[in-house]
Homo-oligomer: A and B are copies of this chain.
Amino acid sequence: MFIVVDENDSRPIYRQVADGISALIAGGELREGAQLPPVRQLAADLGVNLNTIATAYRELQAEGLINVRHGSGAVVASSRAIERADEELRKPLRTALTQLVLAGRARTEIMGMVAEELRALMKGAKRG
């Protein structure tokens, strides 16, 4: 499971993990029905406590992406998250774009970067 946790990232670890798994689901690396690693295993891999992973799994369950069952583990439930308000989705996008603009990137450069990230993200996604 290819996830990275970054000390210097301001997001809490459980959020970084949840976001990492979200990306794997969005990209099709984890499809519906796929089994997620046990919390203890992923926790050991990343060098964190198992409860931190359990929190990440609960977040993903709340977003409708996975199903967690006591005893048997976590399974990808859907590659579609529960409905969210448009503004909820735009806000983080706007923040990210703001930082790019302030970094001096030109509009075309930013559009290219977005296209590139989208391509990488949706590589092998098979979505309708």
What is the CB-to-nearest-CB distance from A22 to chain B, in angstroms, rounded to a whole number? 5
Known contacts A111-B114, A114-B93, A117-B93: does B9 contact A98 (CB below 8 Å)? no
Report the contact-size class of chain A (Cβ under 8 Å from the partner). 35 or more
B100 and A93 contact, CB distance less than 8 A: yes
Chain B residues with CB under 8 Å of A50's CB are none
B96 and A96 contact, CB distance less than 8 A: yes
Chain B residues with CB under 8 Å of A100's CB are 89, 93
Known contacts A81-B102, A89-B100, A99-B81: does B23 contact A94 (CB below 8 Å)? yes
Instruction: Mark contacts of A78-99 with chain B using CB atoms, 8 A cut-off: 1 yes-contact digit, 0 otherwise.
Output: 0111011000011111111111
